[in-house]
A = this chain, B = another copy of it.
Amino acid sequence: MSTAKTAEIAIFKRRESEARSYCRSIDAVFTSASGSELTDAEGRSYIDFLAGCSSLNYGHNDPDMKAALIDHIAGDGMAHALDLHTDAKGAFMEAFEAHILKPRDMDHRLMFTGPTGANAVEAALKIARKVTGRTNVIAFTNGFHGVTLGALAATGNSYHRGGAGTTLNGVTRMPYDGYMGKSVDTADLLEKMLDDRSSGVDAPAAILLETVQGEGGLTAARPEWVRRVAELARKHGALLIIDDIQAGCGRTGRFFSFEEMGVTPDIVTMAKSISGFGLPMALMLVRPKHDVFGPAEHNGTFRGNTHAFVTAKVAIEKFWADDTFQTGLDKQSLALTAALEELAALIPGAFLKGRGLMQGVDVGSGELAGDICARAFRKGLIVETSGPDDQVVKILAPLTTPPEVMTKGLNILLDAARDVAHQTKFAAE
């Protein structure tokens, strides 16, 4: 490590908590970013296939959002407004209604929760419990919904659960689609347990799921499974909550990950890319009949991050006012699949996971996947792993990545995989 760099990162070693994580393997000090590329303090640039874990679906510093935000700040627009009415919030809501909700026949209301995904999940669980008067929530194997105590109870990962320091209650765990192999439809088990008055599964307030498990290893549920779960929720008086925090905002190729599945969730949680610019913002969509919180019953100081409303409005209007953007995603998605098939072919037993622009390759071990990502980083690509054993190389490039940058990034990844495959083979011999 250069002396300059050592000096730059000394403050982090000295004063930042051991909880820091990504910066351990990706140990540059980043200074600027544009589109799908990052630059560090030493002037080196990187292609970004992590995109803030899907928080930067439109890339870094989108010029239109940037301009709107600078204008807003320069004009002394509101920054912080609690849950007061502001022009910026109103304009976002108008855009979201016009371009997202109405075209999809969704009558949902918007609740601006504290600006983290976990907070939206906490609000969703609370409102579902209030609506139904029940406490049990059904969540699935390998689900990830945040690490505050209410959300963490629904999260599957044992490392995160272990951090709770107390018991995590109120959630029944059920196997996600495909968990028991192709011959078993896990919705059968859910149905039987819900129908059986002696199963020990208390009547649920909600069924909570991701249609693609972003942290859990990019497992994608089949639409027919999601439909059956939705029907079971309805039959048993439970609310269907789709956590679209990572898979939403176009990541799977549509604005919502559940579009074209034939389900209307009672509640949708959103965060990550909803501001468009990577600014903290979270949203809970809830059907009017379930909008039962009293004033400030669930509150939070930063529920009115007005800067985020400014960029979020631009994002909606720029990308979702017509089909152009979405159509492009379909093409990109096919290209990504093709490249990843090439990658999978390099690693014996590797196979593809995911859907849309949220795909990856399960390479069989966390060590292997980590090695590929580490080599890619050294070659100028930022990419990360996912899954219970971190065994999936996960691609979360900005959806706006130009084809040539995409190709360049995928080539780096393939190079890294080839190095690893070669070395592994060599070691085996």
Q: Are the C-beta atoms of A298 and B163 separated by less than 8 Å?
A: yes
- Judged by a CB distance under 8 angstroms, whether A2 is at the interface is no
Q: Are the C-beta atoms of A15 and B109 separated by less than 8 Å?
A: yes
A8's nearest neighbour on chain B, judged by CB, is B90
State the interface size on chain A (CB cutoff 8 A).
155
Q: Are the C-beta atoms of B24 and A295 separated by less than 8 Å?
A: yes
Q: Quick one: given A9-B85, A30-B81, are A156 and B199 in contact (CB under 8 Å)?
A: yes
How far in angstroms is the closest Cβ of chain B from A217?
8
Q: Are the C-beta atoms of B117 and A118 separated by less than 8 Å?
A: no
Q: Quick one: given A18-B293, A116-B115, are A159 and B197 in contact (CB under 8 Å)?
A: yes
- Judged by a CB distance under 8 angstroms, whether A164 is at the interface is yes
A41 to B85, CA, bound (A): 10
CB proximity to B under 8 Å, residues A59-108: 60-61, 66, 69-70, 73-87, 89-90, 93-94, 96-97, 101
Q: Quick one: given A30-B78, A141-B199, are A119 and B118 in contact (CB under 8 Å)?
A: yes
Q: Are the C-beta atoms of B159 and A173 separated by less than 8 Å?
A: no
- Judged by a CB distance under 8 angstroms, whether A157 is at the interface is yes
Residues of B with C-beta under 8 A to A66: 73-74, 76
Residues of B with C-beta under 8 A to A380: none
Residues of B with C-beta under 8 A to A300: 116-118, 146-147
A116 to B70, CA, bound (A): 24
A202 to B83, CA, bound (A): 28
> Which of these binds chain B: A123-131, A315-323, A337-345, A411-419?
A123-131
Q: Quick one: given A85-B12, A305-B280, are A21 and B200 in contact (CB under 8 Å)?
A: no
CB proximity to B under 8 Å, residues A366-418: 387-389
Q: Quick one: given A200-B173, A271-B301, are A163 and B53 in contact (CB under 8 Å)?
A: no
Q: Are the C-beta atoms of A32 and B78 separated by less than 8 Å?
A: yes
- Judged by a CB distance under 8 angstroms, whether A180 is at the interface is yes
